[in-house]
Chain A
Amino acid sequence: DGGITQSPKYLFRKEGQNVTLSCEQNLNHDAMYWYRQDPGQGLRLIYYSQIVNDFQKGDIAEGYSVSREKKESFPLTVTSAQKNPTAFYLCASTLNGDSYNEQFFGPGTRLTVL
């Protein structure tokens, strides 16, 4: 089956700890995205990557970092600099960076700070 997988499904972080969220796709898509979802709010873009070895900051990149070393993988690291990281994190991909393409989403990772 083609699709996007995210792991883990649930993640708990202690204060001052960095954590990495995994996102893998086998759709052969060039573009990948990370969003943050908070209750009562729409999705907010953290980072995006239109091609391997290139990525750009979105609207709320502070306290987050990414890498795009392989086409199928786009991991997100939530650093200790992110002061309010508790949220639902969604990874998505599109065939390419053209904005008329619909996005395919993974099942999400729920991060909780203890």
Chain B
Amino acid sequence: AQSVAQPEDQVNVAEGNPLTVKCTYSVSGNPYLFWYVQYPNRGLQFLLKYITGDNLVKGSYGFEAEFNKSQTSFHLKKPSALVSDSALYFCAVRDTIMFSGGYNKLIFGAGTRLAVHP
């Protein structure tokens, strides 16, 4: 079954330290991978995506992610965490099995809560 996993429910990091939020995926074919962030009682905001090309993808708010095909991973990283980065982070992968309407839906991970402490 095609899936995406975020193995950590919560990640704690001190402000100013580097952060990593992990994501692994399982899909057939070439993956399209996305990271979104959600602040409390808000919708999701797009951070970055990997479709093809350079394995290191840079996105909004200083975040980046590295696509690793051999490890089927797409971990989100930031060199120096801010308290304002505290939020819920979702990894998503395009399902390569198409719905009857011709759409490849996104499969979302369960989310990782990032807590950055002053």
* A interface, CB within 8 angstroms of B: 4, 6, 31, 40-45, 48, 50, 54, 56, 58-59, 90, 92, 97, 99-100, 102-108, 110
The answer on a CB contact under 8 Å between B45 and A42 is: no
The answer on a CB contact under 8 Å between B101 and A50 is: yes
The answer on a CB contact under 8 Å between B43 and A105 is: yes
Across-interface contacts of A43 in B (CB, < 8 A): 44, 90, 106, 108
* B interface, CB within 8 angstroms of A: 4, 9, 32, 34, 36, 41-46, 49, 51, 90, 92, 94, 99-111
The answer on a CB contact under 8 Å between A56 and B41 is: no
Query: Known: A90-B44, A105-B44, A108-B41. Is A56-B103 also a contact (CB below 8 A)?
Result: yes
The answer on a CB contact under 8 Å between B46 and A102 is: yes
- Please report the C-alpha to C-alpha distance between residue A6 and residue B44 in the assembled complex, in whole angstroms: 13
Closest 5 CB pairs of A and B: A42-B108, A105-B43, A56-B101, A99-B104, A102-B46
